[in-house]
Chain A
């Protein structure tokens, strides 16, 4: 987790939302039904620094309108842990779209 300390981290969170025009790159993973709907297993996405997980999801839904069908039953995982919609993503983070699970 060396990249956790990025430049954006040193700025006050409330004022970083794209204000300086900088952007970050995250990796998005699609599983199960999310993969079927997008046709992709993963995608690199550029978002303004300061973006939240919810912002990223909004961007993905506008890119893949099919995802709207499941957006109200998915959960998000950030770097292999369930996350809140309001979590701020950082450069090189891994955001996973988790449709309803069905292990067992």
Chain B
């Protein structure tokens, strides 16, 4: 691979994300800009105290999807290096669960691509988080996914219209019977 055009995609198990490692990875002499995004776990959601977040992934598919998203970003912007890393397992409040670093010759490319990468990750990469409160727990649902769902499976079947309606109402999809009721996820980023 061209040393000036590198991509690193990682899914980590239960380890803190070493932000400096990924910033170093994308640092190249040709790059005049490095844009980063760090998603960290918040301590409250709609007034409830969040104890911790637990992440899991369909790892091989998540890595494929992330590489594909990086490839798309390169086709839209003039980029040098990309690093995307997501942590799994239990992530205590205040720690980083996802980190994106992008280098480019010019800052506009780096900034726009960085936003694209995290937005796409939230819309289509098979990673899940359960938010654990002092009095319950719930599987979160990204609004970006609910809006994208019918595109992911193009002939989505009879249920498609129903889900689109729900997404536009910005309600969760699977949450009718969970222990704590929520709107679509805004707990990080």
Contacts and interface: CB of A to CB of B under 8 A. Distances in A.
A103 B55 contact: yes
A32 B146 contact: no
A54 interface: yes
Given A72-B159, A73-B173, A31 B128 contact: yes
A84 B155 contact: yes
A73 B55 contact: no
Contact of A75 (B98, B129, B153, B172): B153
A57 B157 CA distance: 12
* Contact size range, B: 35 or more
Interface stretch (A4-12, A14-22, A93-101): A93-101
Nearest to A76: B153
Contacts of B55: 103
Contact of A104 (B58, B163, B189): B189
Contacts of B163: 72-73
Q: Is the interface of B mostly helix, strand, loop or mixed?
A: mixed
Which of A73, A76, A80 lies at the interface centre, i.e. has the most chain B CB atoms within 10 A of its CB? A73
A77 B126 contact: yes
Contacts of A75: 149, 152-153, 156
Q: Is the interface of A mostly helix, strand, loop or mixed?
A: loop
Nearest to B166: A73
Which of B64, B86, B145, B188 lies at the interface centre, i.e. has the most chain A CB atoms within 10 A of its CB? B145
B97 interface: yes
B61 A73 contact: no
Interface in A68-85: 69-73, 75-77, 80-85
B141 to A, nearest CB: 4
B180 to A, nearest CB: 14
B2 to A, nearest CB: 26
Interface string B136-159: 000111100110010011111101
15 contacts: A31-B128, A73-B149, A73-B163, A80-B61, A81-B61, A82-B152, A84-B153, A85-B153, A85-B157, A100-B173, A101-B122, A101-B141, A102-B128, A104-B129, A104-B188
